[in-house]
Every structure is written in C-alpha cells, then in structure tokens.
Amino acid sequence: MKLVKSLLLGSAAGLIAVGGAQAADLPVKAKAVEYVKICSLYGAGFYYIPGTDTCIKLGGYLRAEVALNTNSVYGGQFSGTGGAHNRLSNYYTMRARQDLNIDTRTATEYGVVRTFFDATFSWTTGNYAGQGSATGATGYSATTAGTATINPTDGGTSGGSLGVYYAFIQFAGFTMGKAVSQFDAPWTNYPGNNFDGLVGGSGTVTGVNQFTYTADFGQGITASFSAEDATAYYQAGNLNLTGATVAGIAGGSYGSNAIGGSRSPNLVGMVRVDQAWGLFQASVAAHDNHVAYYGPTEVTGHPDDKWGWAVQLALSIKNIPTGAGDTINISGVYTDGATRYNFQNLAGSSYSMFSGSDVGYQSIGFANAPDTVFVTGGSQETVKTWGFRGAYTHNWDPYWNTAIYGAYAAAQFGSLAKNAICGGGGFVGVMAVAGVTSCNPDFNIGQVGVITRWTPVKNLTFSADFNWTRLDQKYAGTAVITPAAAVSKPTAVYELKDQDSFTLLLRAQRNW
C-alpha cells in the first residue's frame, strides 16, 4: 500500500511539473495587426499602401442619364442625323457610366510626389445614318469616346467605350501627363450646368497631355507655363476653300480639311488668384496652324505655318449675399486662329440643322468655324472668334440647388473666306447661286439653360438640365441643295434660316 501511494504522489507531481512547463511555453496573445492604416496627411479617404510610405485614395462615381432630343449626351441636335430632325434623329440618348480614379501621394524631401488616374467605362445609345441606297438602308453609328463611326455590318443599338480622362504625375511644381489644360477655368465647361455643349470658352474636361510648371507664390497666388498637345482637342480645322461645294457648306464643312502633322504643342501661360472671396484667372495660349499640302502630293506645295492665339479672363465670386454657398462663375475669351479655345471640342464648331418652312421643301441653317482657311496657292487666313459663358447657382437648402446659365460665341471670317464662299475679289463664290439674297459665313451661337439638383442623401444627386441653343447665321434666301446621304434629305429648294435646338438632360449620380 505504501508503494502504491508513493507511485500516485510521484505521478501527480510529474503531471503538475509537465503542465507548468507547457503553460510557460504558451505564446502571449499578439497585438492586433493594423492591415490598413489611415493616412491623415492629405485629407479624408487616404490610406497607407501596406509596407510603404505611400498614401492612396480610391474614388469615382456611377452615373445613369438620359438626354432627350439629342443624338449625343454631349450637346444638342446640331449636325448630322441629329440636326436632320427626321426619322433618323434620336428622340433620346441613354448612358450608363462608371468612373474610377486612383490618387497616390508620397512625401519626399522635394515635396509631395503625386500620381492621379481617372478612367470611365460607358454604355451609350447609338444611332443610324442613311446610306443613300434605293431601299433606304441605314448603317449603325456608334457613339464611342465622343465620336461617330459608321458600322456597315450593323453592330446593334448601343455601344460600350473606355475613356482615359486623366493620367499624370505631379512633382516639385511640375505636372506631366494628361490633365485639365492650364488655360481652362477650374469649372471647365460647367460654370453651373451638366450640359456639355456650352460654347464661349475652353474646356478639356477629359484632360490634355501636357508638361507644366506651376509656381506657388503663397496666399492663393499661382502662375503656370505649359506645353500642351494640340492634336484632338485643339484643332478646329485648316480648310482649303478650293474644295468647297454647296452640299459641303450646307453640311457644315467649308472645304477640305488639310491639317498636317504635329509640329509644336500649344504654349499656355496662366496666372490665378484663388482666395476665400473667390477666384480670378487670366490665361493666354499660342497655337501653331500647320497645313499639309494643296493637293495629293508634295509637289503641289503648301501654305506656310501661321500662329494663332487666345486670351481668356475668368472670375468666380463665392458666398454672395443671396445665400450660403451661392456662386457666380463667368469667363470671356477672344481667339484668332485658335478656335477651340472658344468653340470647345464637346461643343463642336460645325452646324447643319433642318426644320420646317413655308418656303421650299424645308429650312436649313449651317455654319463652320475652323482655325484657318486658304485656297490652293495662297496663304492661311485666320478665323477670329469671341465669346463668354457664366452661371449663377443658388442653394435653396442643403438638399436643393438651382443654376441659371448661358453662353455666347461669335465667329468672324476675313475677306479671303468671304470672297471664296460668297464671291468678290476675283472669286465666283460657292454660295453665289440663284435664290441666295444674303451671303455671309459669319455666325453667332447663343445658349441659355436652367438646372435643378436634388441631393436627398450625401453623394447621391438627381438633376434635370434644360438647354436652348440658337444658331444665328447670316445667310438668307433659298438655294437648291443636295444634302449628304447620311441625313436622307432630298435634292430640293431649301430656305436659309436660323435654327434652334432644345435638350433636356436627366441624370442620377452616386459619388463614392
């Protein structure tokens, strides 16, 4: 019995010893790992990329919209099948869009290194254009990245597109890549509106490739000098009037476009004062008009380059007495051989619009504002334009606001263009035809609109934007015209007359 008792006590002591050793070897509960660390250096929404000292912020929006009485959400029924106002014209255009942007920032001994990328994925209603066939066949025209391309195989009724808006690096005062032009006012095309097609100023809302240096003098005063890509966004056309026809002019094209290869970027200078009371900005730009050849080969010769220029003043007044957050934004611009700084790319600079008439088959209004014009063997002549745009935004309460906005732009041609188109100075004149009682390629565009926005919850906004555009052209009388096959209009007598376009843009947008 004594032996058994000794064995039991010894076993118990051994178990206690082993248990104590195991308890001593158990790991201490670790502190929770902070996988995503908030970066408070650059405002809300930034986080450190794990394992680095770089902060990142993701953002974007999802938008659903419908534009009534337009073949594009960009603008009104200004040309092509939209301006035809017949069975080829859309009564509506719908779009769904997802935007994604990525903002990264890293503090260095030279200052913050920033990269910014913004892209959109869109699905947009397309439209159909006439083919001029005996059976009335049409071809699909897909609205992809703001352009229309005929698809003879009939691709359906809608089109998807990918757009890169911004992709740039900022470092030590330099901006390198695709960003909003330094010429633009901060509100670009939108002094108070959603409507994209405002004339009266520049607006590279989808960015332009550039190399820019910005000097910051403190107290909200900055100055920038920029070299910006002229192609795509800043070329309104260099037209050889020798190729002009009545049908082409009526379609909004005053000749053969003969833009040459890129030779010089646009040179832009800007000074801005941005303070609590508002903002003032002065911008200047120089644009090189480089033409290819008079004819199909090098031996036909070419006109010399001609520089154009533009100047713009912009003013924003904040927190005016009518209410907290109320704002007035206005800008004015003058261009000489640099038309896109007034007739910005989403507004366009070519018009061909039809409507009813008591004289002839129908009425038509047409206009075109290129950068320069010339004739075979001659020099370039610049087109001069001026314009303005502005808006007043009133906040009714934290959920509702309304803006009233407007824009105006005028284009003026020189003696070469007027003589070649209308006659005189040794030119017969393309439009010097029977029935035309007044011939002048100068024209004006006037626009007014109103928008109301409702934001029931933070970052979710519903809006309705109504716009009226009027083409004030300087032709009068009648003319026998054979329009382009795409608009399905017959050869007939048309009255030359001012035209109107009305657009209602309805939008729902969720920012995140």
pLDDT in tens, the chain (512 residues): 444 444 444 444 443 344 444 444 555 565 555 668 999 999 999 999 999 999 999 999 999 999 999 998 888 999 999 999 999 999 999 999 999 999 999 999 999 999 999 999 999 988 888 988 888 898 886 543 333 333 333 334 457 889 999 999 999 999 999 999 999 999 999 999 999 999 999 989 999 999 999 999 999 999 999 999 999 899 999 999 999 999 999 999 999 999 999 999 999 999 999 999 999 999 999 999 999 999 999 999 999 999 999 999 999 999 899 989 999 999 999 999 999 999 999 999 999 999 999 998 999 999 999 999 999 999 999 999 999 999 999 999 999 999 999 999 999 999 999 999 999 999 999 999 999 999 999 999 999 999 999 999 999 999 999 999 999 999 999 999 999 999 999 999 999 999 999 999 999 999 99
Amino acid 241 reads L
Residue 142 is predicted with a pLDDT of 53
Say what the pLDDT of residue 232 is.
Answer: 84
Cβ proximity of 76 and 407 under 8 Å = no
Q: Which class for 91: exposed (0-12), middle (13-18), buried (19 or more C-beta within 10 A)?
A: exposed
Tell me whether strands 460-473 and 492-496 are parallel, antiparallel or unpaired. unpaired
Residue corresponding to tokens 């106002």: 85
- What is the pLDDT at residue 430? 95
**CA 223 – CA 270 distance, rounded (Å):** 6
Give the predicted TM-score (pTM) of the model: 0.88
Element (H, E) at 248: helix 246-250
Helix (H, G, I), strand (E, B) or coil at 195: coil
pLDDT at 409: 98
Note the pLDDT of residue 160.
85
- CA 256, CA 430: separation in Å to the nearest integer? 14
Distance CA 445, CA 409 (A): 5
User: Within 10 A of 436 (CB to CB), how many other CB atoms are there?
Assistant: 18
Give alpha helix (H) positions in 378-446. 415-422
pLDDT at 131: 87
Contact assessment for residue 338 and residue 193, using Cβ atoms and an 8 Å cutoff: no
